[in-house]
Amino acid sequence: MTTAHTAPEHVRDAAPVSDPSWTVGRPRAGDGAQLWRLARESGTLDVNSSYSYLLWCRDFADTSAVARAEDGRPIGFVTGYLRPDAPGTLLVWQIAVDAAYRGLGIAGALLDHLSERVAGTRRLDAVETTITPDNEASERLFGAYARRHGARVSRTVLFPSAAFPAPGHEAEVLHRIAPLAF
Residue 145 · residue 154 · CB < 8 Å: no
For the stretch 106-158, pLDDT in tens is 999 999 999 999 999 999 999 999 999 999 999 999 999 999 999 999 999 99
As to burial, measured by CB atoms within 10 angstroms (0-12 exposed, 13-18 middle, 19+ buried), residue 168 is exposed
pLDDT at position 182, please? Answer: 79
pLDDT at position 36, please? Answer: 98
Residue 134 located in a structural domain = yes
Residue 98 located in a structural domain = yes
Residue 44 located in a structural domain = yes
Residue 1 located in a structural domain = no
Residue 162 located in a structural domain = yes
Residue 54 located in a structural domain = yes
Q: Domain holding 82: CATH number?
A: 3.40.630.30
pLDDT at position 27, please? Answer: 97
Residue 7 located in a structural domain = no
For the stretch 69-104, pLDDT in tens is 999 999 999 999 999 999 999 999 999 999 999 999
For the stretch 6-21, pLDDT in tens is 333 443 444 455 567 8
pLDDT at position 152, please? Answer: 98
Residue 81 located in a structural domain = yes
pLDDT at position 18, please? Answer: 54
Residue 4 has pLDDT above 70, yes or no: no
Residue 57 · residue 38 · CB < 8 Å: no
Three state DSSP letters for 106-130? HHHHHHHHHHHHHHCCCCCCEEEEE
pLDDT at position 19, please? Answer: 64
For the stretch 15-41, pLDDT in tens is 455 567 899 999 999 999 999 999 999
Boundaries of domain holding 173? 19-178
User: How many domains would you assign to the chain?
Assistant: 1
pLDDT at position 6, please? Answer: 31
Residue 180 · residue 151 · CB < 8 Å: yes
Q: Which is more confident, 181 or 51?
A: 51
pLDDT at position 119, please? Answer: 97
